[in-house]
Amino acid sequence: MILIALLLTFIILISIPILGFKIIKAFIKKDRPRLYKLFGLLLILILVPGFFWQILPGSDFFWGPIEKVHEKNYNEELTGFEFHDGELLYEYVTERAFNGDGYSIWIYEIDEETARYFKNPNPDFFTKYPNPEFRSDWETEYWKKTPFDTNEQKFLDFAHSSLDEMDFELEDLLNESGNYYAYKYYIQNFSEGRSYVANIDFYIICPDRKLIVKINHNT
């Protein structure tokens, strides 16, 4: 989807100078009907990317509700329970390469109802989620209770980031009782028999702290 959007934006950026040249020709020839049509088309080409990328004033009124629905659906696929992420407490996002490589971590404050649910989640939470059909070519580790299993350390190392602006680190959350963690990962294999973690989505839920941590690292 992102690649399609980038391609369309690239096409639009190329079209604008061509359109500008045609506008100049129409102006010189004093062809007002054609000039008005070209100006209208130019306005559309300028407004559409701004609307799509949400930099145009007012575009959030359209995209905001859509993003909220997507957010709830994503969390249901992640945990089996529909909820909004809540207030963003911490964010660290690197610049992404054209193929999506990069690192992101978000920490949200979940609401009281969501926190209460995760203190005693449905049993399916531990056996069916995150939904393995999401990123079906990745391996899935379903939700587990903390403390973190040190046999899984290589996955945490790949997902790890220091939380400079918070009064805790990921290790603190993973060693507290009453929390949960899960992850999905992709292993890159080589012909010589070597392998390493190439991509990961790592999640932590802390009902008492009312937090959810979402991490993505692609290489």
More confident residue, 43 or 213: 213
**What number is the average pLDDT over the span 70-74?**
90
- Please report whether residue 8 resides in a domain: yes
Amino acid at 212: I
pLDDT at 147 (0 to 100)? 97
Higher pLDDT, 113 or 97: 113
Q: Which residue has the tokens 């934006």?
A: 9
Q: Is the pLDDT of residue 109 over 60?
A: yes
Mean pLDDT of 70-84: 94
Least confident stretch, 65-69, 77-81, 104-108, 143-147 = 65-69
**Domain contains 57:** no
Token pair of 82 as six digits: 């529909």
Task: Taking residues 71-96, report their average pLDDT.
Answer: 94
Domain limits at 29? 2-52
Same domain, 41 and 117: no
Asked if 85 and 181 sit in the same domain, the reply is yes
Share of the chain above pLDDT 90, in %: 57
Residue 192, pLDDT score: 74
In a domain, 59, yes or no: no
Q: Is residue 196 located within the same domain as residue 106?
A: yes
Q: Is residue 78 part of a domain?
A: yes
* Residue 166 neighbours by CB under 8 Å, 6+ apart: 89, 90, 107
Question: What mean pLDDT, rounded, does the chain reach?
Answer: 87
Q: Report residue 218: phi and psi, to 5°.
A: -120, 140
Residue 19: per-residue pLDDT: 81
What are the tens digits of pLDDT across the range 140-157?
999 999 999 999 999 999
What per-residue confidence (pLDDT) applies to 61?
Answer: 60
Confidence of residue 45 (pLDDT cuts 50, 70, 90): confident
| Domain shared by 210 and 162, yes or no | yes
Contacts of 186 (CB under 8 A, 6+ apart): 135, 137, 138, 139, 197, 198, 199, 200
Is 149 part of any domain? yes
Written in H, E and C, the secondary structure of the chain is CHHHHHHHHHHHHHHHHHHHHHHHHHHHCCCHHHHHHHHHHHHHHHHHHHHHCCCCCCHHHHHHHHHHHHHHHHHHHHHCCCCCCCEEEEEEECCCCCCCCEEEEEEEECCHHHHHHHHCCCHHHHCCCCCCCCCCCCEEEEEEECCCCHHHHHHHHHHCCCCCCCCCCHHHHHHCCCCEEEEEEEEEECCCCCEEEEEEEEEEEECCCCEEEEEEEEC
- Which range is most confident: 42-46, 68-72, 183-187? 183-187
Q: Is residue 75's pLDDT more than 60?
A: yes
Residue scoring higher pLDDT (215 or 27): 215
What's the pLDDT band for 64 if we cut at 50, 70, 90?
low
27, 105: one domain: no
> Do 29 and 101 have their domain in common?
no
Q: Which residue has the higher pLDDT, 170 or 68?
A: 170
pLDDT of residue 24: 87
